[in-house]
Amino acid sequence: MNLRPAIRLASVAFGLATLLSAALPAGAADSADPAADAKAFQNYFTTKFPKLKLADFVNGPYSLNEDMHRQWVEKEEFPPYEFSLEMGKEMFAKPFKNGKGYADCFDNGGIGVRQNYPYFDEKEGKVITLELALNRCREANGEAPLSYMKDEMAALTAYMAFTSRGKPFDIKIPNDPRALAAFENGKQYFYTRRGQLNFSCASCHVQNPGQRMRAEILAPALGILNAMPIYRSEWGGMGTISRRFTSCNSQTRGVPLEPQSDEYRDLEYYLSYVSNGLPISGPGARP
Amino acid sequence: MTATDDQFSEFSATRRLILKGAIVVTLTGLGNFSFGAVPALAAANDKWPEEAFKQKGQADAIKALYGKTAEASDKVKLDAPEIAENGAVVPVSVTTTLADVTSISFLVADNPNALAASYNIPPGTIPSVANRLKMAKTSSVTAIVEAAGKLYSATKEVKVTVGGCGG
Amino acid sequence: MASTIRVRATATGDTTEVQALIQHPMDSGFVKDAKGNLIPPHFIQQLAFECDGKTVFLADWGTAVSKDPYIKFSFKGGNKGDDLKISWVDNKGASDTTTAKIQ
């Protein structure tokens, strides 16, 4: 049997299955159950790495390799994200031209709230990430939006993460079919293969964390967003969740999406939800 | 570098400009203070050893810096990772039980210029230094300790899988 | 303009431990920009620490010191509340100075 038609057949079958599952009402055999997903996800990692505590996963590859762990401890003595963190603190405190500030856009003045992002906005019917909320805050106050990838956006999210350090991720999925659909959509994005290398996010970060991908040690998907934003030595600077997603897509030789596109927002929603209960550790430092 | 990163290289360029601007501001803004800094450095009675930093090979750099050769000593404890997580940031430190230490230097044999850093240790300062170095590729890293006029060294191989020179 | 120098100096007994992080590109001169042009070398050459008018540590740096350089050392003497003066100068003649209190 020729392989190509077989693949095509399989993908048609898969497409049908997706259509069917989308058409079927909740309660069908494979209905979405985020709580069960999160439990299975966390169990998978704690079983794979029995020596690690759940909270260790927020330190990414550094919990998986002793030599790297030593380098990390040394780095954290005076972490390379220090300048960004300080810049974020200053930016956060500086009023906009209209006299208002970031604090006016967030619960509790934006302090210690990072663990609640992203959340599902039932009015809008979409996922709102922290990066998106920050730019919306700027635009609502007559300021130009920031680039999502690094510099100022990384500094602001670094500061907000810092004020939430130690607080467990607390992502909620409201009783709204659209929220469940966003979660499922994010999950599907996470497990779908793409790019010339035909890798899914899960190929590296679920199936192979702790292994070397060429030169780098792959981070576990569990807790990966808890450390954001990160100073990556490879980047020689800071990067946001948007930068992490787009660079991951590029590294599999795929075409990255626009930062804060619906798919990335759903992906962040899924990936944050399955890390519920793990503490925020950002900003982080990574190889 | 990924395609995504290239896309943002414009931003790096901007950042560089801002940085340069900032330095100009610092210079003018500090006025007298910036002049203050230079005599302070000069008063330490030490010029930046340009010749030593210009040398390519390790032996030449040591010769240019100290005018003599070093012998290996187990009293020099060099700490460096087995495998550097990234050649751009390799934590390297040295400590020694030798007495009368006046200088500590770090060399990376296979870098374009072997001498990375050299530290003047005045009396009263503890002969123990930690810093972060760039490594172009897998290489030996050597720490030189000058004690009572003699040179002692320790060497360790550090594997580099992601080079620290960009590109 | 915030200082380019972050410093932590802690006195324990008769020893003061100093850690510093400096914001500087430390361009080696071997790296090309996105357009393929070499970025010229731009790096800190000397970094000095003074306590009570006396130099306690002097660094000579080449281009192989990492971006945003880090340094850690300790010296005898120095009491809580004493001033520690830190200054650097780079190959383009730019410089910065700051004074930190020993904790």
CATH number at residue B114: 2.60.40.2470
Are B38 and B56 in the same domain? no
Tell me whether the omega of the peptide bond preceding residue A229 falls within 30 degrees of 0, making it cis: yes
Model confidence, pTM = 0.78
**Whether the predicted pLDDT of B160 surpasses 50:** yes
Domains in chain B: how many in total? 2
Examine residue B167 and state whether it is found in any structural domain, yes or no. Answer: no
**Whether the predicted pLDDT of B13 surpasses 60:** no
A82 touches chain B (CB under 8 A): no
* Residue A201 is among the residues annotated as catalytic for this protein: no
ipTM of the complex: 0.93
A214 touches chain B (CB under 8 A): yes
Are B22 and B58 in the same domain? no
pLDDT 10s digits, C45-93: 999 999 988 999 999 999 999 999 999 999 998 889 999 999 999 999 9
pLDDT band at B46 (very low <50, low <70, confident <90, very high): confident
Least trusted range by pLDDT, from A144-158, B96-110, C29-43: C29-43
The domain in which residue B113 lies consists of: 50-160
What is the per-residue pLDDT for A216?
78
Rounded-to-integer distance, Cα B36 and Cα B17, Å: 26
DSSP 8-state assignment for residue A263: H
Give chain A's domains with CATH numbers.
4-78+175-286 (1.10.760.10), 82-162 (1.10.760.10)
Kind plus residue range of the DSSP H or E element containing A141: none
Examine residue B165 and state whether it is found in any structural domain, yes or no. Answer: no
What is the per-residue pLDDT for A265?
97
**Could you give the residue ranges of the DSSP H alpha helices within chain A?**
3-23, 34-48, 66-77, 82-93, 130-140, 151-162, 177-191, 201-205, 241-251, 262-273
Compare all CA atoms of chain A with the CA of C71 and give the residue at the minimum distance.
Answer: A78
What is the per-residue pLDDT for B5?
43
What is the per-residue pLDDT for C50?
95
Provide the angle, in degrees to the nearest 10, between the axes of the packed helices A151-162 and A130-140.
110
Q: Do A80 and C72 touch (CB under 8 A)?
A: no
In this complex, the residue of C19, C23, C72 whose CB is nearest that of residue A83 is C23
Residue numbers in C near B30 (CB within 8 A): 95-97
Are B69 and B124 in the same domain? yes
Q: Do B91 and A149 touch (CB under 8 A)?
A: no
From first to last of its 287 residues, chain A has per-residue pLDDT tens of: 444 544 444 444 444 444 444 444 444 445 779 999 999 999 999 999 999 999 999 998 888 888 888 888 888 888 989 999 999 999 999 999 999 999 999 999 999 999 999 999 999 999 999 999 999 999 999 999 999 999 999 999 999 999 999 999 999 999 999 999 999 999 999 999 999 999 999 999 999 998 887 777 889 999 999 999 999 988 889 999 999 999 999 988 999 999 999 999 999 999 999 999 999 999 999 88
Percent of chain B residues topping a pLDDT of 90? 63
Chain C contact probe: residue of B15, B119, B135, B137 with most C CBs at under 10 A: B119
Are B31 and B72 in the same domain? no
The Cα of B144 is separated from the nearest Cα of chain C by a number of Å equal to 14
Are B18 and B70 in the same domain? no
Are B75 and B118 in the same domain? yes
Rounded-to-integer distance, Cα C79 and Cα A191, Å: 58
